[in-house]
Amino acid sequence: MPGFEWFGNEERKEVADVLDTGVLFRFGFDQARQEHWKAKTFEIELAKRIGAGHALLCSSGTAALSIALATCGVGAGDEVIVPPFTFIATIEAVLNAGAVPVFAEIDETLCLDPKSVKAAITPRTKAVLPVHMCGAMARIDEIKDICTQKGLILIEDACQAVGGTLNGKALGTFGNMGCFSFDAVKTITCGEGGAVVTDEQQLYLTADAYADHGHDHIGNDRGAEGHPILGNNFRISELNAAVGLAQLRKLDQILDTQRKHKAAIKTAIKKFDGITFRCVPDEEGDSATFLSFFLPDETKAKQVITEFGQAGIDGCFYWYSNNWHYYRQWEHLKNLSSAASLPITLVKGLPDYRNLSLNRSDHIMSKLISMQIKLSWSDDDLNRRIEKIEGILKHSSFAP
């Protein structure tokens, strides 16, 4: 998963360019910056790489979600359909927009189940926000069809899935807007950073203004720019963009390596009866940051994850109970614990998340183990890892 495993002279050179000029700001200073436009260059190369009309780099994946929601007009009282398996940022962004997160079930893709999305639609539904979780895709074509039929906005949280595709089309480019994260542990990293992408020029222009206090960025004099809307500051610095630019140029190499490592482990695990894999609608398009598989039941999943831990097989996740990526552990959401009071009108419109019960998702997640795929493994590391995994699975009977 993490691009930081591969920092090298490429990142150093890009950062040095910025430090040499002293221009850390992404706009203006045309003379002083000596042609170095790291954020702008990143945007052009990202849009080209994933086949999006426009890309806007911003300060984080969470910022990207907030920008996308605001830009698409999702605000006070609107319902947004979200999955229960995601990083909490997805839910926080919806709440921060003043909108109501409405949970639908996931299916064996570990992403939103299109049927459950349909069932969750009400007259107040404004948008659907699927998450391409753990590097692979939701049934985004089916979800898009539902949004088109029902006139709903589609925003993709592709924060964990840069470089992933469905039938050759990049994740993040199916919806009205797509969001990426380049935080410290993502596939490629800026240290902190994110991006929104869209094919619609007006959305791009609104996002570009919103992320920088409403500046319209017309002309060469920042002080004289117009401010058509109120906005926020979700800008990225040139230093972060510089790191990310070098990383973006390694994306294909990163994906190749992840896919190779994932395939080797998958081939080894496949031999064991009773183990099944996460449903990936287009295996070729999996960015392969994780290998996710199901044991026959919760007891066996817990047994295996424990044994993996004892054997020193690192980077294994049992999200169902041990991690902060699943709704069962979101006590802060259930109690609506916030630093300051949430708007009373928002609170009145929220369901009681303490009563939230998603049986189908629970059933799926309780059997799931995810294994992080690293870039830095040598062939020896990989072989030793596979031996350990096989040793554990061999001693256990997984027939359901």
Ligand X SMILES: *Cc1c(COP(=O)(O)O)cnc(C)c1O
Reported as half-sphere exposure (CB side, CA atoms, 13 A), residue 400 has a value of 9
Q: What is the spatial distance between Cα 170 and Cα 189, in angstroms, rounded to a whole number?
A: 18
User: Which residues touch 325 (CB under 8 Å, ≥6 apart)?
Assistant: 85, 86, 87, 88, 319
Of 61 and 101, the one with the shorter C-beta distance to ligand X is 61
Question: What is the 3-state composition of the chain as percent helix, strand, coil, each rounded to the nearest 5?
Answer: 45, 15, 40
**379-394 helix and 298-310 helix, angle to the nearest 10 degrees:** 130
CB 74 within 8 A of CB 210: no
- Residue 227 sits at φ, ψ, to 5 deg, of -130, 80
Of 87 and 327, the one with the shorter C-beta distance to ligand X is 87
- Clarify whether 186 is annotated catalytic: yes
User: Which residues touch 6 (CB under 8 Å, ≥6 apart)?
Assistant: 247, 250, 254, 375, 376
**Shortest distance (Å) from residue 71 CB to ligand X:** 17
**Shortest distance (Å) from residue 223 CB to ligand X:** 31
**Shortest distance (Å) from residue 59 CB to ligand X:** 8
- Residue 253 sits at φ, ψ, to 5 deg, of -65, -40
Of 11 and 157, the one with the shorter C-beta distance to ligand X is 157
- Would you state the structure tokens that stand for residue 366, as one six-digit string? 């309780």
Identified catalytic residue from 144, 186, 302, 367: 186
Of 324 and 345, the one with the shorter C-beta distance to ligand X is 324
The per-residue b/e assignment along 307-320, b for 16 or more CB within 10 angstroms, e otherwise, is bbeeeebeebbbbb
**Shortest distance (Å) from residue 268 CB to ligand X:** 27
Of 86 and 165, the one with the shorter C-beta distance to ligand X is 86
**Shortest distance (Å) from residue 193 CB to ligand X:** 7
Of 174 and 272, the one with the shorter C-beta distance to ligand X is 174
Collect contacts of 333-337 with beta carbons under 8 A, ≥24 apart. Answer: 333/88, 333/91
Ramachandran quadrant class, 312 (left: phi over 0; alpha: psi -120 to 50; beta: rest) = left
Amino acid at 226: G
Q: Which residue is nearest to ligand X (CB)?
A: 61
**Shortest distance (Å) from residue 69 CB to ligand X:** 12
Residues at the interface with ligand X (CB under 6 A):
60-62, 86-87, 89-90, 131, 157, 159-160, 181, 183, 194
- Would you state the structure tokens that stand for residue 35, as one six-digit string? 């042609």
Q: Which residues are catalytic?
A: 186
